[in-house]
A and B are shown apart, each in its own frame.
Chain A
Amino acid sequence: MATSDRTFSTAERRADFPILSRQVRPGVPLIYLDSAATSQKPQVVIEAMDRYYRLSNANVHRGIHALAEEATAMYESGREKVKQFLNAASVKEVIFTRNTTEAINLVAYSWGRANIRPGDVIVYTAMEHHSNLVPWQMLAAEKGARIVVIPITDAGELDLSTLDDILAQSPRLVCVSHASNVLGTINPVTEIAARAHEAGALVLVDGAQSVPHMPVDVQTLGADFLAFSGHKMCGPTGIGVLWGRQSLLEEMPPFMGGGDMIRRVYLTDFKPNDLPYKFEAGTPAIAEAVGLGAAVDYLTSLGMRAVQAHEHEIVAYALERLEEVPGVKVYGPPADRRGGVAAFSLENVHPHDVAQVLDRDGIAIRAGHHCAMPLHDRYNLPATSRASFYLYNVPEEVDRLIDGLYKVKKLFG
């Protein structure tokens, strides 16, 4: 049994999350191992959103009444908190979107349509989530651009021996996930970005699985764009962030048209608003921005290094215990090079059945292709089971998972 975390009390942290004390069915407590899909929400986030709706709800950037000013201040305070969390140079670089997917699509539609020409090369890796594949496939099809893929090794890491040859093709853009949502691999984004920049390419980092789990500082990351979701980092669904370098964002045309993104509208023409509003058409997700701000405060109070250390301890223990189970194969790199994710297969049992039987004991894992079908094709797997961990998980939950897997084996043996 691994010892509990030394830097913060997990028992206290668990008490911050109301849902963790529920029973899935009478007498069956929840063991939530699906935080890579979405994290649970602490009381402070739920309360912040509740308070906003009870006391301050109004539309932002419009009215001059008290509530409108309060709502605007709260919404913009969420942005300021995200700016500090990322160590961004300015709030102008923090654009609220619906989620990671929309943030990546914003770059594909706005920057992509303005800059990609027939024959241009767009690079991404073989371990990307569909959200960092399909927007580029759509753009390439529209513009007649070419996609080049950075392959992965059998061990589940990027094969960077191919990078020089790929960069020699002068790509316009290199897209890479910071941490894989299946393999857990933490990619050397800073190194890739430096090499990509030397070759004249811009770099987009999918931070959906890194920003919630480790310190991410955009001043040292090396990326030009960083996309992530609020709901995977203790915040609500419906809000995500695109961080981009101001000089790039200034040059980019608006993505969606409507209210709030304009400076002046004429009957047949318009002038776009300044950053970041240029990219935020229509009434935004105000309560969600407030909730995301509260989530950032919560994570900051714990310290991202402590969160990362805790997850590392849990995933190392999970890998050790999973490997003890006959017939289990874990995919991806060793614990010291991965985030809090463990995808595995159990011999002769389909992942759906693994997940279904574990659910009997209140254990929530994910089964399927985890929105990474090309990655599963790479390993010739239709699907995998995935346990993913966050700051509230404890080693005892790993033990319950292992007990559950033995039950699965018995049922299908």
Chain B
Amino acid sequence: MDDMYREVILDHYKNPRNKGTLDPHDFSYEDENPLCGDKLRIDVRLDAEQRVKEVAFSGRGCAISQASASMLTEAILGKTIDEVKAMNKDDILDMLGIELGPVRLKCALLSLKVLKAGAYGLEGQHYHDED
């Protein structure tokens, strides 16, 4: 429990990596957490091999949602779209290194949900959140 605000999370919250927007981008997606109304947007640029070359996130939210977005943007650099689509809840929880109850889990997973919805949308597919 006390780990929830461990140093690495507070560091990503206070000094977010890849914060901002990318224009132009290969895909961009925005969604909100209906629980709290927090909004998150992720913009992605791909290289010639369809790997993530640049990524930026914007929006506002709690430390857990912002830190998970910041960490996620670092984690996906160089990944293919298929690798991004294959990411799941456990990847995020491993990254954060904390345990979360059902309510805060939604905060932690918002960035992945937005990213995957954008990645699926790139190929005209619709992403169904499994949670």
Contacts and interface: CB of A to CB of B under 8 A. Distances in A.
A25 B2 CA distance: 12
Contacts, number: 49
A225 B13 CA distance: 48
A80 B106 CA distance: 44
A205 to B, nearest CB: 27
A326 B72 CA distance: 33
B10 A368 contact: no
A107 interface: no
Nearest to B63: A353
B104 A356 contact: yes
A352 B62 contact: yes
A131 to B, nearest CB: 16
Interface in A322-375: 350-353, 356-357, 360, 367-369, 373
Nearest to B37: A382
Given A350-B61, A353-B62, A383 B38 contact: yes
Interface string B7-49: 0001001100000000000000000000111110000000000
Contacts of B13: 412
Contacts of B64: 352-353
Given A350-B61, A352-B104, A367 B36 contact: yes
A383 B35 CA distance: 10
Given A350-B61, A350-B63, A382-B60, A356 B4 contact: yes
Contacts of A357: 5
Contacts of B60: 350, 382
A376 interface: yes
A168 interface: no
B86 interface: no
Nearest to A408: B5
Contacts of A351: 36, 62
Interface residues of B, number: 19
Interface string A259-273: 000000000000000
A163 B70 CA distance: 48
Nearest to B39: A382
A352 B61 CA distance: 9
A47 to B, nearest CB: 31
A103 B70 CA distance: 45
B37 A373 contact: yes
Contacts of B35: 368
Contacts of A64: none
Contact of A369 (B36, B62, B63): B36
B37 A369 contact: yes
A411 B10 CA distance: 9
B107 interface: yes
A383 B37 contact: yes
A376 B1 contact: no
Contacts of B63: 350, 352-353, 412
B38 A382 contact: yes
Nearest to A413: B14
A271 to B, nearest CB: 43
Contacts of A360: 1-2
Contacts of A412: 10, 13-14, 63
Interface string A382-396: 110000000000000
Contacts of B38: 350, 382-383
Nearest to A359: B1
Given A350-B62, A412-B63, A382 B36 contact: yes
A100 B78 CA distance: 52
B37 A376 contact: yes
A241 B4 CA distance: 41
Contacts of A350: 38, 60-63
Interface string B92-107: 0000000000001001
8 contacts: A352-B62, A353-B64, A356-B104, A373-B37, A382-B36, A382-B38, A383-B38, A412-B14
Interface of B: 1-2, 4-5, 10, 13-14, 35-39, 60-64, 104, 107
6 nearest A-B residue pairs (beta carbon): A352-B62, A350-B62, A382-B37, A353-B63, A383-B36, A368-B36
